[in-house]
Amino acid sequence: MLIHWTLGLAASLPFLSALVLGVRVLSGGSRPSERFAFSVVEGGLSLSLLATTAVALQFGGVLGPAVGGEVSFGNWLQLGSYFIPAVALVDTAAVALALLGAVLTLLVARFSRTYLHKDPGFHRFFVLLALFASGVQFVAFAGALDVMFAGWELIGISSAMFIGFFHERDEPVRSSLRTFATYRLCDAGFLMAMVAVHELLGTTRLAELPRVAGLPSWEVELIAGLLLLAAMGKSAMLPFSGWLPRAMEGPTPSSALFYGGISIHMGLFLLLRVSPLLAAAPATEVVGVIVGLGTALYASAVARTHTDAKGALAHATLAQVGLILAEICLGFTTLATVHLTCHALLRVFQFLRAPNTIHDAHRIGHGAIAHAAATEAPTTGVLWRYGVSLHRLRVEELLDRLVVPVLALARRLDRLDRGLRRAFDRGAR
């Protein structure tokens, strides 16, 4: 029973801290102090980290017999023959991501207390941070696609709201809507794949995925392709890379955690979880390798020509994410897991260090920077010119034309809804 308690606490404590802080803010009266807000969220994150560490110790056999594999909590929902299993899967990949997410979220929370001091959105930031932490634990320990999808959506919603954090300006709001639209499109692939797996296998448990080898090849390829689509959207693979540089509109701490450390790697973790399914879909693996290597080449070139520090870091992150995708689709899952973990740690440090790096650059002087650029430029050769041309063409902005009609339709429907409500109110009076 200890493993059930520690898994439950690891996933639920951050959510409960967000709920406590949110209720306190919305309850009226005087606004809670920053110390109260930070203490509530820090407490939830710290206890979640302790619970995650306890899970890791049980998995390693330190606290008694080693515990691993599926851990069932029964069913969340059952309607006739359809049920959503509340099941966790404890293995090396789950423990690695859960510990990584818990440590980095607590680190970013401590950094943000000083960084966002006296910011009007201080309390909102920590509510979203706690929701994100809970979503990461759900994804990490999910033993079924349904459970993973719940955490997936928590991460996606908090990500979009972080991008639009400074909502008093137009650009963050536009960037947030663009990201949310991309997520919605690609998450539909996850949802359809989840339903298809349930209908074909009778369950969405990850431990049952090797059974797909007995299905017709076209069905396996279709499900694998839908999951690859979901991973491409969440991890900003081409042609969905355009939202990532726009995500830099959010606060630096959220950029570090989401688009350097954890969120950007969620699509890759999904593919690691369904690797038995990918192994039975060679055509999808080939597409994944091509997309990953193409994204890595594009992002590497743009990162060398980007004039914004966070934008350059975003594309540098994307280049490594593309390589990890190629590794997964080539079957090097252990290498991909190690690469993902080390890359997340590196990028979080770089994003958090970015403001000081810019300050140091201004203090040293632009002459030294220009000299360094001139020294480096000849070594890039064709890649440099390739990056300049791609960045100037703004390839990712071409995809905005697909999002604009959707946003326009949403605005028209909103105006129509408001008009109908006003007409209904007048008729009721």
pLDDT of 210 higher than 50: yes
Average pLDDT over all residues of the chain: 79
Q: Are 317 and 354 in contact (CB under 8 A)?
A: no
Region 197-220 average pLDDT? 83
Q: What percent of the chain has pLDDT over 90?
A: 1
As beta bridge partners, residue 83 has 78
328/311 Cα distance (integer angstroms):
26
pLDDT of 357 higher than 80: no
Region 79-99 average pLDDT? 82
Q: What percent of the chain has pLDDT over 70?
A: 82
Q: Which range has the worst mean pLDDT, 87-101, 138-152, 153-167, 415-429?
A: 415-429
pLDDT of 14 higher than 50: yes
Q: Are 126 and 157 in contact (CB under 8 A)?
A: no
List the one residue out of 192, 168, 158, 163 whose CA is nearest residue 178.
163
200/284 Cα distance (integer angstroms):
19
Token pair recorded at residue 42 = 């820090």
Token pair recorded at residue 281 = 């879909």
Task: Output 157-161 pairs: Cβ under 8 A, ≥24 positions apart.
Answer: 157/131, 158/128, 158/129, 158/131, 158/132, 159/132, 159/183, 159/247, 159/258, 159/263, 161/128
Region 77-98 average pLDDT? 81
Contacts of 176 (CB under 8 A, 6+ apart): 160, 161, 163, 164, 249
Q: Are 51 and 6 in contact (CB under 8 A)?
A: yes
In DSSP notation, 233-268 reads HHTT-TTSTTHHHHGGGS-HHHHHIIIIISGGGHHH
The pLDDT value given to residue 398: 60
The pLDDT value given to residue 372: 43
Query: 152-187, pLDDT tens digit by residue?
Result: 888 888 888 888 877 777 777 777 887 888 888 888
pLDDT band at 395 (very low <50, low <70, confident <90, very high): low
The pLDDT value given to residue 402: 63
The model's pTM: 0.79
The pLDDT value given to residue 70: 80
- In 60-144, alpha helices (H): 92-115, 122-141
Q: Are 154 and 135 in contact (CB under 8 A)?
A: yes
176/174 Cα distance (integer angstroms):
5
pLDDT band at 309 (very low <50, low <70, confident <90, very high): low
Region 310-321 average pLDDT? 80
What is the CA angle 96-312-354, rounded to 5?
Answer: 70
pLDDT of 392 higher than 60: no
Distance from CA of residue 5 to its chain's centroid?
A: 26
The pLDDT value given to residue 429: 64
